[in-house]
Structure 1
């Protein structure tokens, strides 16, 4: 039976949301085991140097959850970023890797459905879910190649300024596709929830640690699709509370801008229209 390692990176992340994420992850993992899709699964939490008070609270949470979930904790000595945090989790021999944000809640049967999908489609190496945001609205996790204008509008423009560019923004979010059916050969996907074959994760080396926060998922997507297809499965469902960089303050805005510059410099600039 295949096994799965789920990794969650936290940096002062709200513990009530994390506890809810663990609850849903446990249910989804147990469902996958019961359906014969997994032999075993474990969860590895990586704390990116959140400070002693937070770590004490986190360790208390883990002590409670270890009674019902195979759970490990890695305490990073410094905050090396989101991608490096996930890369600390060893995957040698792991058949599948689940990359998960601490504010993502898996639907119970979705993980089993995604594993069955991977069994039926050996050409697929990465699966992304259907997502709802915290208000119950559909979130579009699959994207076309971004342009500078699109990122600026999404990140920083007020609603009245975005309105004339509605079609441009919709094209970036691939809203023209039918998201009630599986989609194959995607280019760019969000890293809030990624189910990855272990061999694909190992061949890519995981996330590029040069991306401290933001765009590490797009960079991973472009490297992973050289090895295997990236697919979307509507039966694999999540709720993602999320939140944009601009709404998180100036520090996140700076991280976002630095990562965007690195991404465009590495893969090529587009100014107005999103790419394929």
Structure 2
């Protein structure tokens, strides 16, 4: 029986979190679903609201006495259920509208053993489609995105939604708002890099997955809804008024120092990781459960 651990890092989203947790436990999945909520709010109202949810659903909680950051919180969730077959990073504003989403993602990963990280297309509450799959960034691209919306990144998702692309589309990196990760990826990389507080960690994690021969993929499986509120939304001048924007700048600086100004996806055909021999054989649908 396969196990999926859902890791939710909450930061003042407890009202929406109830819908998120409810949608997790409504999933039609033959395996075991674990769920852990790490609360970074350090707020009595948030703690009380989460405890109210806990009365109705069986999940584990961790309450931080300070905001320890997204990456450290995610890693605590991974450590709590380190034997899980899959880890599903899920933002507290996500609502899984279709009961077959988790089982569908597990099935896709079981049938495509070289995929290490996969996400479904999301739809915001207002009907817009967020940019879940993107190209690796460079400083000029990031600045340009603050000045005007670049269509080349949006088209990655639109290819799946509007142009009837294949069921799986490889992308450079995936936003970790709703991403399923194979345990072998975590074993190879070791979780998110705690040098980042909030941003850029998912980009580097996907880059490291590609470097180790794992594919990163986007699928048009539907049924996942987000509130559409970005932590770093706003123009470039927001760096002067928003602490979150300043954190983004610092995390981006760390990323470019570590990975260069224009990191690129390596050719997976030239990579022969040791894990491939262990999981290269196709599996039946029963084995995927």
TM-score of the two chains, using structure 1 as the length reference:
0.83
* Contact 1:184–1:229, Cα closer than 8 Å, also in 2: no
Q: Aligned partners of 2:264, 2:124: CA distance in 1, in Å?
A: 25
Q: How does 1:142-161 map to 2 (within 5 A)?
A: 142-155=133-146, 157=147
Q: Which residue of 1 aligns with 2:70?
A: 82
Any idea what the Cα deviations from partners look like across 1:42-92, whole Å, max 9, x if unmatched? 1101012522332122212212x23xxx31111223321011101002232
CA distance 1:233–1:259, change in 2 (3 Å): same
Q: How does 1:192-271 map to 2 (within 5 A)?
A: 192-227=177-212, 228-244=214-230, 245-247=232-234, 250-270=242-262
Q: 1:50 aligns with which of 37, 42, 50?
A: 42
Q: Which residue of 1 aligns with 2:174?
A: 189
The alpha carbon displacement at 1:174 in A equals: 4.4
Q: Which residue of 2 aligns with 1:170?
A: 151
Any idea what the Cα deviations from partners look like across 1:226-276, whole Å, max 9, x if unmatched? 331111111254112132314496111111111111112221225xxx966
* Contact 1:111–1:236, Cα closer than 8 Å, also in 2: no
* Contact 1:143–1:174, Cα closer than 8 Å, also in 2: no
- Stretch of structure 1 that moved more, 95-104 or 178-187: 178-187
Q: Which residue of 1 aligns with 2:60?
A: 72
* Contact 1:114–1:236, Cα closer than 8 Å, also in 2: no
Any idea what the Cα deviations from partners look like across 1:135-174, whole Å, max 9, x if unmatched? 111222111122323322333x3xxxx2xxx6xx122344
Unaligned 5+ runs, structure 1:
none
Q: Aligned partners of 2:39, 2:24: CA distance in 1, in Å?
A: 18
Q: Aligned partners of 1:26, 1:226: CA distance in 2, in Å?
A: 34
Q: Aligned partners of 2:157, 2:82: CA distance in 1, in Å?
A: 39
Q: Secondary structure at the match of 1:19?
A: helix
The alpha carbon displacement at 1:23 in A equals: 1.7
Q: Aligned partners of 1:121, 1:177: CA distance in 2, in Å?
A: 23
Moved over 6 A (4+): none
Q: Does 1:4 align with 2:4?
A: yes
The alpha carbon displacement at 1:184 in A equals: 4.2
* Contact 2:130–2:228, Cα closer than 8 Å, also in 1: no
Give me the CA root mean square deviation. Answer: 2.2
Q: Aligned partners of 1:54, 1:23: CA distance in 2, in Å?
A: 17
Any idea what the Cα deviations from partners look like across 1:182-202, whole Å, max 9, x if unmatched? 334421110101101122123
Q: Which residue of 2 aligns with 1:119?
A: 110
CA distance 1:182–1:71, change in 2 (3 Å): same
Q: Secondary structure at the match of 1:32?
A: coil
TM-score of the two chains, using structure 2 as the length reference:
0.80
* Contact 1:182–1:231, Cα closer than 8 Å, also in 2: no
* Contact 1:80–1:209, Cα closer than 8 Å, also in 2: no
Q: Aligned partners of 1:5, 1:56: CA distance in 2, in Å?
A: 23
